[in-house]
Amino acid sequence: MSKAVKIACVLVLVVICIIVTAGFVIRSGKKGNPSPESINMGSAGSMGPMPPGAHTSEQPESKEAKSPANTVSVDDLGLAPSNGPVKSFAITAEVMKKAGQSELWTYNGTVPGPEIRVTEGDHVHVTLINHLPVPTSIHWHGIAVPNRSDGVAGLTQDAVKPGQSYTYDFIAAEPGTYWYHSHTNTFEQEPRGLFAALIIEPRNRSHYDHDYTLVYFDDYNKSQTAGQIVWQRIQQSFGREVPPPVMVNGKEEEELEAARGQTVRVRIINASAGDMQGTPLRIVPLGAPFQVVALDGHDIHKPQTLSSEVLSIGQGQRYDLVITVPSSGIVGVVNAFSGQAASIGQGNLSIPKNLNDLPTFDLTSSGVPVLSALAPDARFDANYTVTLGSKPGFRFGQIELIHTMNGGAFPDSPTLVVEKGQMVHVRLENKSAEYHPIHLHGHVLTVLRVNDRPVTGSPVRQDTVLVYPHQTADVAFVADNPGLWMMHCHVLIHANFGMDMMVVYPNISTPYTIGTKSGNFPD
């Protein structure tokens, strides 16, 4: 680039950054009336079923509450009777203030909160007790819960007021690595500490010597000022990715035990809020060959043994690894940007420079294919395209970097209507220079194609699919869980700036509303 072009670029960026920062500062200042008064997101009465092959539905004419007689309320979409063993948990959301640290919001007094470990088939019963000064709710990320237990404020429940409680019920159906977090003002509440791991162990216990969880999240002691975000944005625009510092299990570095020859399962959860660019976590397993055995809780069929690859893990995603401690006595899970390590075993872990230059793990060719109805060449009952964009503009009377799905920002983004039993194909087209890990509630997405390259290995099933800047991802799911569900970017600032939409089944009503009247804000 010539110097003049560079300077021009910087100027344009500075202006964008100022707009973004202004939006950011104004929003965090909580002045004015940032959101609509009352919006009802029910599908009842406002939308009919979509013909196969149709694209995005029309906006419903009115989003005011309507509940014609032939509708089902989200409150009635609870758990069917089960005879699974009941496992009950109590989670108290509370404030924690330690000298010299920023005030944290915690589940049961720790950040991350307590790991919930259950067994496949268990009936999980969790009571959230709110001791925070603000309303809150819990979302069970990646679990196909019944709609009424999805934890989305203003959609499936009213946010739980201070001093009150709410009980969630679901079946731990598919073993794997999941997590839970606040879904009320998520943008603020999750980074303050309201998140934790949720592990479903297989009924037939697996044979690993150790089973560790690594929860990555933003370093709340180094939280970013608006100025730092601007500077980061400028650097990123020149191809220098400088993600904010992360902590692993609440520490700078983690040390875990294992002896030579032992096999360790490592469950990596990216619970970070993400930066403006949505830069994924980049992790390199070092010291021994490893396998990626599961993505977002779903097993890879016959995974290969790998070495020297970067795992690019978007916000909300999980990667499960299996690694055997070699004769050196130590292996590590290393952050490719910073060299920050979680070490397993004892000894000296040598961390090469330029880890970030290693090739990235390719999920389209990992493992071995198995027959699956949701194959790249399958015929689908409905095909949708969802474009992901961002542009500076006005929203709720404020300047912000608006993030859109099919041109609209939540709650004015178009809705996808699906019918029970349909096989639905969604093409995600990222028209922006940012990363967007797109998360669908209540269902599992199967990745068909990444940037038009079909998946040739094991089926890839994820609840959060990372769409790279200016790339596409074709995904599919079976509509088997009636309700009102969100689909949104898991970069929390992108979601807060509008990158959310609804995936709904026809004729479902909700008694809850989003807006200042109810105080329910999902993102």
Binding residues (CB under 5 A) for Cu ion: these are 278, 436, 489, 491, 494
In contact, 175 and 202? CB cutoff 8 Å: yes
The CB-of-496 to Cu ion minimum distance in angstroms stands at 10
The CB-of-439 to Cu ion minimum distance in angstroms stands at 10
The position carrying tokens 């839970």 is: 180
Element (H, E) at 441: none
Nearer to ligand C2O, 139 or 403 (CB): 139
Nearer to ligand C2O, 182 or 249 (CB): 182
Residue 491's binding partner among ligand C2O, Cu ion, none (Cβ under 5 to 8 angstroms by kind) is Cu ion
Counting residues that bind ligand C2O (by CB under 6 A) gives: 10
Of 441, 443, 461, 494, the one binding ligand C2O (CB under 6 A) is 441
- The 467-486 site mask, x for binding ligand C2O (CB under 6 A), equals -------------------x
Residue whose C-alpha is closest to residue 129's, from 87, 95, 166, 183: 166
Nearer to Cu ion, 34 or 469 (CB): 469
Nearer to Cu ion, 298 or 494 (CB): 494
Applying the rule CB under 6 A, the residues between 165 and 184 that interact with ligand C2O are 181, 183
Report the phi/psi class of residue 487: left, alpha or beta, with left for phi > 0 and alpha for psi in -120 to 50: beta
What is the pairing mode between strands 330-335 and 341-345? antiparallel
Of 297, 316, 367, 442, the one binding ligand C2O (CB under 6 A) is 316
Nearer to ligand C2O, 425 or 441 (CB): 441
Residue whose C-alpha is closest to residue 292's, from 283, 307, 303: 303
Residue 181's binding partner among Cu ion, ligand C2O, none (Cβ under 5 to 8 angstroms by kind) is ligand C2O
In contact, 275 and 232? CB cutoff 8 Å: yes
- Closest-by-Cβ residue to ligand C2O is 141
Nearer to ligand C2O, 473 or 486 (CB): 486
Q: What's CA 168's distance to the chain center, in Å?
A: 19
Applying the rule CB under 6 A, the residues between 395 and 434 that interact with ligand C2O are none
Q: Assess 139 for contact with ligand C2O (CB under 6 A).
A: yes
| Backbone phi, psi, residue 233, to 5° | -60, -40
Nearer to ligand C2O, 403 or 439 (CB): 439
| Amino acid (one-letter) located at 143 | I
Q: Assess 488 for contact with ligand C2O (CB under 6 A).
A: yes
Residue 493's binding partner among Cu ion, ligand C2O, none (Cβ under 5 to 8 angstroms by kind) is none
The CB-of-271 to ligand C2O minimum distance in angstroms stands at 9
Nearer to ligand C2O, 336 or 445 (CB): 445
Q: Assess 494 for contact with ligand C2O (CB under 6 A).
A: no
Residue 192's binding partner among ligand C2O, Cu ion, none (Cβ under 5 to 8 angstroms by kind) is none
The CB-of-237 to Cu ion minimum distance in angstroms stands at 16
Residue 489's binding partner among Cu ion, ligand C2O, none (Cβ under 5 to 8 angstroms by kind) is Cu ion
| Backbone phi, psi, residue 122, to 5° | -65, 150
In contact, 20 and 401? CB cutoff 8 Å: yes
Residue whose C-alpha is closest to residue 466's, from 246, 302, 282: 282
Q: Assess 265 for contact with ligand C2O (CB under 6 A).
A: no
| Backbone phi, psi, residue 229, to 5° | -65, -40
Nearer to ligand C2O, 183 or 282 (CB): 183
| Distances 489 to 126, 334, 383, 440 between C-alpha atoms, Å | 26, 25, 20, 9
The three-state secondary structure class of 97 is: coil
The CB-of-463 to ligand C2O minimum distance in angstroms stands at 8
Residue 316's binding partner among ligand C2O, Cu ion, none (Cβ under 5 to 8 angstroms by kind) is ligand C2O
The whole-angstrom separation of Cα 370 and Cα 372 is 6
Query: DSSP letters of 311-373?
Result: EEE-TT-EEEEEEE--TTSEEEEEETTT--EEEEESSPPP--S-GGGSPBP-GGGSS-----S
Residue 248 in tokens: 């692993």
Q: Which residues bind ligand C2O (CB under 6 A)?
A: 139, 141, 181, 183, 316, 439, 441, 486, 488, 490
